[in-house]
């Protein structure tokens, strides 16, 4: 089966499970070193760079194709005639725009799944659904849903990241340069980790929305950076 989930040409080969290892070894031997094994992390970076959704992260049962930027997968005849499962909701969103949209970001620091996205005034406008380092762009990228109206390319946003650290690691300076994070903070993925690690604080991180949901790739020429931003550690509470 031809497969382009990474944004590149590729194939999925279905074989009996007992033959899978032998087939993989045979392909590697015949490639004469031109093919190497890779893992899900590498694949995930490729699909992120291509702006492709991952089910369970960027797509769920309550997310529509319009919200996820997947209207290209709905045939023209279906759009014109309707009558398919979910047509009432989807066709209405196509005509009136959805309440939320999937967008891509570049960011200056770490990004967690389910991190809160805020506008410059501190108002919550969405949530991060996927993120990782982009080998092509040499910076962190992410995908997430934001309210319609906040999805335009070039929009500045902030990502609220939960960080946990023990009391002895508490910095004396409330403003830290990003390189200090790797030395001081352990990024937590679940709020309940605070019970084990220690005190919980919040870090604001700058980001740029770099694509509209209707596009299915990160437009490298439109990538923008928000230079000179310092991580503000909120010590109170």
Phi then psi dihedrals of residue 195, to 5 deg: -70, -25
Q: For the chain, which residues make up each domain, given as ranges?
A: 42-234
> What's the confidence (pLDDT) of residue 88?
93
Closest by Cα among 38, 229, 42 to 134: 42
User: Would you state the pLDDT for residue 230?
Assistant: 26
Q: Which pLDDT score, from 0 to 100, does residue 207 have? A: 52
Cα separation, 200 vs 235, whole angstroms: 9
CB contact burial 122-161 (16+ within 10 A = b; e otherwise)? eeebbbbbbbbebeeeeebbbbbbbbbebbebebebbbbb
- How far is residue 106 CA from its own chain's centroid? 10
What does the pLDDT read at residue 97? 86
Homologous superfamily assigned to 42-234 = Probable tRNA modification gtpase trme; domain 1 (3.30.1360.120)
pLDDT at position 162 is 53
CA dist., res. 188 & res. 110, Å (int): 11
Give pLDDT tens digits along the chain (237 positions).
Answer: 556 677 677 778 889 999 999 999 999 999 888 888 888 888 888 888 888 888 888 998 899 999 999 998 899 999 999 999 999 999 999 999 899 999 888 877 666 677 888 887 878 888 889 988 888 888 888 888 989 888 877 777 777 765 444 334 444 444 333 333 333 333 332 222 222 222 333 344 445 554 433 333 333 333 222 222 222 222 222
């Amino acid at each position: 089966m031809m497969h382009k989930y990474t944004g590149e040409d590729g194939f999925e080969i279905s074989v009996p499970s007992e033959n899978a290892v032998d087939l993989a070894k045979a392909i590697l031997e015949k490639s004469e070193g031109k093919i190497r094994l890779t893992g899900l992390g590498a694949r995930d970076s490729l699909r992120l760079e291509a702006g492709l959704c991952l089910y369970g992260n960027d797509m769920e049962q309550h997310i529509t194709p319009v919200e996820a930027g997947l209207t290209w997968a709905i045939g023209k005849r279906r759009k014109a005639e309707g009558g398919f499962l979910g047509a009432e909701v989807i066709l209405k969103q196509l005509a009136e725009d959805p309440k939320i949209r999937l967008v891509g970001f570049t960011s200056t620091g770490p990004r967690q799944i389910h991190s809160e996205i805020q506008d410059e005034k501190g108002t919550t406008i969405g949530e991060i659904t996927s993120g990782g380092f982009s080998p092509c762009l040499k910076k962190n990228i992410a995908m997430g849903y934001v309210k319609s109206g906040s999805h335009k390319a070039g929009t500045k946003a902030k990502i609220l990241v939960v960080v946990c650290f023990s009391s002895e690691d508490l910095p004396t300076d409330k403003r830290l340069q990003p390189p200090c994070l790797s030395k001081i903070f352990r990024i937590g993925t679940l709020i309940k980790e605070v019970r084990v690690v220690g005190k919980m604080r919040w870090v604001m991180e700058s980001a740029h929305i770099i694509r509209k949901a209707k596009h299915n790739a990160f437009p490298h020429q439109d990538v923008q950076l928000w230079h000179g931003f310092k991580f503000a550690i909120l010590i109170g509470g």
